[in-house]
Amino acid sequence: MEISGLPVELWRMILAYLPLPDLGRCSLVCRSWYELIISLDNTRWRQLCLGCIECRHPNWPNQPNVEPKSWREAFKQHYVASRTWTKNTQELESSSCFYLFRRKKDRRVLCVGPGCEYDTLRSALASANTYDRIMLFPGVHEEQNELILKVPVEIVGQGKLGDVALLVCIDQQCPTARLCNLVFMPAWFTPVVYKTSSGHVQFDNCNFENGQLQIHAPGTCQVKFCIFNQSSINFHSVALCLLENCEFIGSENASVTVEGPPTPEKNWACKHLTALAKSRSVLLTAPEPAVYMSDADILDSTPTGHVRTCEIVVHGDPSNIPLTSKSQQPFESTCEKENEVNGKLCTAKDGEALTVDTEYSDSELSACSENEDDSHSVYKLSYQSHGLSHILAKSIQCRPQTNGLLALQNDLELKTLQQELQRDKESHYFASTVLGCLIHKCLFRDGKGGVFVCTQGHARMEGSIFRDLTYGVRCIQNSKIIMIKNEIYHCKTSGIFLRLAAGGLIADNNIHSNAEAGVDIRKGANPLILCNKIHSGLRSGIVVLGNGKGILRSNQIYGNKEAGIYILYNGNPIVSGNHIFQGLAAGIAVNENGRGQIIENVIRENQWGGVDVRRGGDPVLRSNLICCGYSDGVVVGERGKGLIEGNTIYGNKGCGVWIMSSSLPHITSNQIGHNSIYGVAVFCRKDDANDYLANQGNNENFNDEGEAANWENDLDSEDDRFTSRRPINVTLIESNSINHNGAAGLYIKSSEALNIIANAIHANQDSGVAIFQSTQLTRIANNSISCNSLSGVLIETGCRVELRGNGIYDNSSHGVSSKGEGIIIENDILGNHGCGLQLAQTADMKITKNRIQSFHDYGIAVLDQTKGLVQENLIFQGKSGKSILQQVSNTEDCIVQHNKLLDYKKKSEISWTLENPPARPHIEGSTRGTSTAQTSQRVTSMTNRIAAQVEGGCHNNGSLFCSIL
């Protein structure tokens, strides 16, 4: 009959009465009939799928309210998978035409129950032939002894799930079997309800109550739509097993245990299970269109309270960035009012880059302002071609309104999982080949553990949910796991544990709201962690300790109560390309001899330091964007070390870099700008444990449940790290651009030696370099210090300083103002609004071979009780005609001699120039070097808490927030 003979709606109503075989026949009539049968997806195919006693809703148990893409396809997949157990017949190889003469063997149905031909399951099995179906009628079927399956059979319960209960222990010794629609409970003599050591078994729509399944290699299994209530599955060296759409509830130990390496000996079912596993894998199916979410969209569902948000442009095209969400709009007006020393940090609107407006420009700070007399230019000495002019020009030109943070656009954007796997071919191969136990779309809840993988076991988890457990996944002893698109939350300890050289791939998971770390890596574990969301944890996002390693890339880590990434006790991960933001403590904390390479991350809007290093922490911090924090950008606390190189440290509420003088960092080639207080601050203050409350860290405990407290004794005695950076024995700050900060560019209050080499310190809202305490020698050499709001260099009483080879230009007060002691040699001090160089009170300085000029004031002013030597300086006389002022109480203690004064003659056509040598600083090549260093150190103690101290003020007490023990 032609389709056009009736309306389509009427055809659908008629065909809705057809059983499955007749629907198949109708679909073979012609293309029109085929399309008509396909159109029954939401009607007849849905009825068939939900009415089948062998399966449940295709998205059960995690998303039972979400419709599948196609009910027909879901029903087809289940139908095909339910026949896997019958595919073990031997192929005839003697002749390819023998298949024509095969006869299909009829399958019998054996009924078991009251009034049936068989009273017990044991009697039915005794008379069953290959592939017979044993139908169990409603009731409780109990066996007092172990049942042995010797022939392949199918055991099916009649009626609804729960009507048929089995109190048995079944030992499968045949190649294949299938059990469906049954409730399994353990017999009185053993907790094991089913076990196999060679064959393949398939469970469909079964319940397991207080029992265990044991699958030993080369046995395999496929479990679908089953509930495990206080039950578990143990896999021993299996080559491949599938758990799909199962629910695990209330386990007393791990719900699934995978133990032992996959055996090379495989049974007949492995090739069929491999095909099914690959069809389920998200990595081997066509990727869905990528959906990009802004950080604001992510945080809409994050319970982190009311926090200040700041849109950062790190992508190429601003038009690709979503508009600020409505939840952020009330804050915009508040943000506009937050001013720190004339700097305004504003939230971007309509995809614009973050901007910081200031009430001054670089030109207004210059001595050659438009408001000055035109004759000023006559006395002006050109110094624009000094050795750091390229860095200075970059700091001026890369203003936020123009280029700003866009310079990092290509390197710091988050990559998708497919992009990451294409970048790392070895990882893609590993992710495509590791199978072992495949756990797909399962739910683990309200128990002690989810999945436990040990002794070189392999497991693969995709699309599953782990919630309200003691732990989600534990992987130890050289085992491998692959976790993709899972959700792990509300665990009482950490979400994922990796120990004892465990590894694998953890990618594209949502790990949140756990009581301890989202991911805990230690004891030589070395996983690859890609493209996860790790957020809202009650402790840290990721913890790496105890010689743990790992590669952490393209993750979003936000809203955690403690550090986003916490590295300690010789942890040594590679942290690259992550976005770590809006944490309630530090973005990354490196503590207790932790190491690591922290490269090209976006670390922003954290409550404490963006990166916090102390207590022997020695990381490499390179090419990161550390911005918009509520405290300091980088904190190097007591005994902190590390290489801090090439970072952009921008727009933080506290200091750009805060250094404790008992630390030993190497800070080089960073852009440190537009921070609300100091650009770099070096303070002399030891952490005092007595200042902290004993319970002010929630008693951090890095021990697992069941692990001995002295786990650190397992650490290697030798540190195997070899670095490519040169060793330093004095804190070194070199080749940085420190500009437009709200207070001094560099603030020093230290009791230890300090080297400040080849930095461009420009346009800060206080002095360029302010030294308030320096009992050891502070060496300031080859720096460009220009256009700062107060003095270029300020040296207070009692400080020891060496100023050599610097260019100190166009500062709004004195070029150098000193009350301390030391030497000032071979500097260019020009164009400053106050004196070129002022010595006051009890200063004791040797000043020689400098070139000095002040337009309005004296070139050199020697006042009060100053001591020292002022000789062989070249002084360019300014408009005021003032050269040297000497007003000291004892001229014998202060010798001023052999200085050369140049008085400009207006009639002369020759203008002054800085030549022989040219304008300072002079930088020839790179000031950095490389070498190899090896250290060894054993950890002998462990801290059990993190304490925080909030301090008022900054000028006297150091960091705005945060001291971490």
Q: What is the mean pLDDT of residues 249-268?
A: 93
Name the pLDDT band for 724 (thresholds 50, 70, 90): low
Name the pLDDT band for 40 (thresholds 50, 70, 90): confident
Instruction: Give the pair of three-digit tokens for residue 454.
Output: 């040990």
For CATH 1.20.1280, the residue range(s) in the chain are 8-87
Name the pLDDT band for 877 (thresholds 50, 70, 90): confident
- Summarize the chain as % helix, strand, coil (round to 5): 15, 30, 55
Is the pLDDT confidence value at 734 over 80? Answer: yes
Taking only the tens place, the pLDDT of each residue in 522-542 is: 999 999 999 999 999 999 999
* Higher-pLDDT residue of 496, 941: 496
Taking only the tens place, the pLDDT of each residue in 439-478 is: 999 999 999 999 999 999 999 999 999 999 999 999 999 9
Name the pLDDT band for 375 (thresholds 50, 70, 90): low
Give 913's strand partners: none
Among 26-35, 355-364, 407-416, 907-916, which stretch is predicted with the lowest mean pLDDT? 355-364
Q: Which residues lie below 8 Å from residue 787, measured CB to CB, with a gap of 6+?
A: 362, 365, 366, 762, 763, 809, 810, 811, 812
599: Cα separation from own chain's centroid = 11
Is the pLDDT confidence value at 91 over 60? Answer: no
Give 779's strand partners: 755, 802
Percent of the chain with pLDDT over 90: 53
What is residue 949's predicted lDDT score, i.e. its pLDDT? 27
What is residue 308's predicted lDDT score, i.e. its pLDDT? 40
First to last CA, the chain: 83
Taken as a whole, the chain contains a residue count of 965
DSSP summary character for residue 5: G
**Mean pLDDT for the chain overall:** 80
CA 173 to CA 184: how far, in whole Å? 19
Percent of the chain with pLDDT over 70: 76
Name the pLDDT band for 938 (thresholds 50, 70, 90): very low
Taking only the tens place, the pLDDT of each residue in 42-62 is: 888 778 877 777 778 888 999
Instruction: Give the pair of three-digit tokens for residue 785.
Output: 């210090």
Taking only the tens place, the pLDDT of each residue in 834-854 is: 999 999 988 999 999 999 988
Is the pLDDT confidence value at 898 over 50? Answer: yes
Q: Which residues lie below 8 Å from residue 263, measured CB to CB, with a gap of 6+?
A: 217, 218, 237, 238, 239
Residue 46 sits at φ, ψ, to 5 deg, of: -65, -40
Taking only the tens place, the pLDDT of each residue in 907-937 is: 555 567 788 888 899 887 544 433 333 322 3
Is the pLDDT confidence value at 959 over 70? Answer: no
Greatest alpha-carbon span in the chain: 130
Please give the class, per CATH, of domain 8-87.
mainly alpha
Among 110-114, 489-493, 772-776, which stretch is predicted with the lowest mean pLDDT? 772-776
Name the pLDDT band for 718 (thresholds 50, 70, 90): very low
Secondary structure of residue 333 in the 3-state scheme: helix
CB atoms under 10 Å from CB of 384, counted, come to: 9
Taking only the tens place, the pLDDT of each residue in 475-502 is: 999 999 999 999 999 999 999 999 999 9
What is residue 293's predicted lDDT score, i.e. its pLDDT? 45
Is the pLDDT confidence value at 328 over 90? Answer: no
Angle formed by the axes of helices 44-51 and 71-82, nearest 10°: 40
The answer to whether 180 and 207 have CB atoms below 8 angstroms apart is no
Is the pLDDT confidence value at 425 over 90? Answer: no
What is residue 431's predicted lDDT score, i.e. its pLDDT? 79
What is residue 926's predicted lDDT score, i.e. its pLDDT? 42
Taking only the tens place, the pLDDT of each residue in 134-178 is: 999 999 999 989 999 999 999 999 999 999 999 999 999 999 999
CB atoms under 10 Å from CB of 791, counted, come to: 28
Chain position carrying tokens 């590993």: 430
Cis peptide bond N-terminal to 21, omega within 30: no
Name the pLDDT band for 906 (thresholds 50, 70, 90): low
What is residue 411's predicted lDDT score, i.e. its pLDDT? 59
Residue 259 sits at φ, ψ, to 5 deg, of: -125, 135
Secondary structure of residue 844 in the 3-state scheme: strand
The answer to whether 932 and 913 have CB atoms below 8 angstroms apart is no
The answer to whether 379 and 904 have CB atoms below 8 angstroms apart is yes
What is residue 26's predicted lDDT score, i.e. its pLDDT? 83
Q: Give how far Cα 703 sits from Cα of 436, 543, 694, 875, 915, Å.
A: 29, 12, 19, 67, 65
What is residue 799's predicted lDDT score, i.e. its pLDDT? 93
What is residue 695's predicted lDDT score, i.e. its pLDDT? 31
Taking only the tens place, the pLDDT of each residue in 754-766 is: 999 999 999 999 9
What is residue 694's predicted lDDT score, i.e. its pLDDT? 32
Give 611's strand partners: 588, 634
Instruction: Give the pair of three-digit tokens for residue 871.
Output: 């000789």
What is residue 287's predicted lDDT score, i.e. its pLDDT? 46
756: Cα separation from own chain's centroid = 32
CA 669 to CA 648: how far, in whole Å? 9
Secondary structure of residue 272 in the 3-state scheme: helix
